[in-house]
Chains A and B, each alone.
Chain A
């Protein structure tokens, strides 16, 4: 009897694991098979031409470049915030410090706040200061979204840095600041993984940039210009009644998926490298 139960549940587990793999495969298959037909060189090398939204020529270069500008700016902001925070709570405070726990806890919560709330809040603040939807606004809001992501994965690595590595520079007379500079080198693969994950999250998020970054057919040349982003390009093109334009939405979705695949795989590569470095 109990052996039968064992068998049934083992089968159920295998089935559910298989279903999850199948769903991932199905999603990728759908996106690839729908998008590959309209994925031309023009799609990634040209901005929208005249009549693009009626199915005429052009591509989504504006959105690709816009997304990258946006996410690079956001990563810089996020690193500028999250590195000092992680260093402070890990190397200046003790493990049991209440302050450190509070900071970790509040970042855990920030991590859970949905992007639409960041987007709505960010836009409300922008209205308050009389700012229009712009690359700058998008960068700041996406930066807020990914700061907790980077901070949490950095913290995860920093927490397990071996004591010897902390004590060696200190015993040689280095100040804590100098020690941190050394530790940062050790943390480099961790930072890279965190950044890659955050880029993936930032580049694919639509709800944050919906109000704050606007949309335009041009590649932005200044921080105060609005900018197009890939997720919104997909979203808007999909809403069009014209089939040509819808097909381009699928092609754009394929482009975004490929970018995410590359980011996800390289993040895995770096985190594996990290575990090799572990002492």
Chain B
């Protein structure tokens, strides 16, 4: 009997270890797999040229990723610029000023915001943001805009990354010891002065890490952005122009035109690019966040 129990224990431990190692290898597998599949195009063309050319003519075998890369950067930048002040101020409010009741009221709202699927954000964007831009904002600046634009993508994305930013900011601010706040307050500083000079300064690494995570989330967002960005492969010259971010490129074209040589490989390279950038951003910010957690919690 005891032998059987020990045998069961051993089997369980080994299979758990096996599954753990397996899942550890999974990340590597995706990376290597995507790289392997983008090899054909990397062999055929110079990598630097692929990244800096803006000629995208798959039928002629020209693959320049620049419009997509620029579009992704533009949209992400706008999203961060809009989302950052709101989420920073809200998180300061929630951690430093708000009562328990208000915090409890806010938590499900943030949950919901992060739970709403991308496609719903897309629907909301096309119904409200897109017409608003083409009818109200754009006429003041440019002659014509369909509304499906860099700005629309940026606004929709900013709403989508806000819950992520708020939850990490709150965690980071919460990890700062109470004594620091009290020391500052007892010296006669106001609450805001304490926030400005102690909390924000102390949590700078955490804030940067949170932004990096939000950036990588924005890079990879597909359906919502695809629905409001217009999807024209040009380098946008203003925020009212249509654009075509990398994930949208993959989503719109993969699975269809696999007969054209190198096309599949080019799309795989787009996925590989996304993968690499996001892994780097994630790894960096997780390292910072883990260190913060360790410093104050152990």
Contact = CB atoms under 8 A, between A and B. Distances in A.
Contacts of A250: 123, 127
Nearest to A3: B190
B230 interface: no
Contacts of A249: 123
B260 interface: no
Given A206-B222, A249-B123, 4 more contacts: A84-B15, A85-B20, A124-B37, A231-B119
B23 A147 contact: yes
B117 A256 contact: yes
Contact of A84 (B16, B127, B255, B278): B16
Interface in A1-46: 2-3, 5-6, 9-10, 12-17, 19-21, 23-24, 26-27, 30-31, 34
A265 interface: yes
Given A87-B16, A123-B255, A109 B286 contact: yes
Interface residues of B, number: 84
A106 B24 contact: yes
Q: Which are the 4 A-B pairs with shortest beta-carbon distances?
A: A114-B220, A204-B117, A13-B93, A175-B9
B34 interface: yes
Contacts of B190: 2-3, 5-6
A165 interface: no
Contact of A20 (B24, B86, B255): B86
Among A31, A116, A121, A264: residue with most chain B CB under 10 A: A116
A204 B89 contact: no
23 contacts: A16-B87, A17-B106, A20-B87, A105-B283, A112-B278, A113-B275, A114-B274, A116-B220, A116-B271, A117-B278, A120-B250, A121-B33, A177-B13, A204-B120, A205-B118, A206-B223, A211-B254, A211-B255, A231-B223, A250-B127, A253-B123, A264-B108, A268-B108
B219 A120 contact: no
A200 interface: yes
Given A9-B192, A116-B274, A260-B115, A109 B27 contact: yes
A200 B111 CA distance: 11
Contacts of B123: 31, 234, 238, 249-250, 253
A235 interface: yes
Contacts of B216: 112
Interface in B121-160: 121-124, 126-128, 159
Interface string A100-129: 001101111111111111111101110100
Contact of B86 (A9, A16, A118, A238): A16
Contact of A26 (B37, B89, B128): B128
A50 B286 CA distance: 51
A12 B117 CA distance: 29
A138 B6 CA distance: 39
B71 interface: no
Among A26, A85, A267: residue with most chain B CB under 10 A: A85
Given A120-B271, A264-B112, A13 B127 contact: no
Interface string B43-74: 00000000000000000000000000000000
B120 A253 contact: yes
Contacts of A268: 107-108, 111
A179 B216 CA distance: 39
Nearest to B212: A112
A235 B190 CA distance: 51
Nearest to B163: A20
A17 B34 contact: no
Contacts of A107: 23
Given A121-B34, A207-B223, A238 B126 contact: yes
Contacts of A26: 124, 128
A17 B192 CA distance: 16
Contacts of A57: none
A102 B223 CA distance: 32
Contacts of B227: 235, 238
Given A12-B89, A120-B254, A108 B19 contact: no
Contacts of B183: none
B22 to A, nearest CB: 8
B210 to A, nearest CB: 12
A102 B33 contact: no
Given A87-B16, A113-B278, A210 B27 contact: no
A16 B89 CA distance: 7
B19 A21 contact: no
Contacts of B185: none
Among B90, B106, B283: residue with most chain A CB under 10 A: B90
Contacts of B195: 9
Interface in B7-48: 8-9, 12-13, 15-17, 19-20, 23-24, 26-27, 30, 33-34, 37
Nearest to A113: B278
B217 interface: yes
B204 interface: no
Contacts of A146: none
B20 A88 contact: yes
B117 A231 contact: yes
B120 A117 contact: no
Contact of A117 (B6, B162, B274): B274
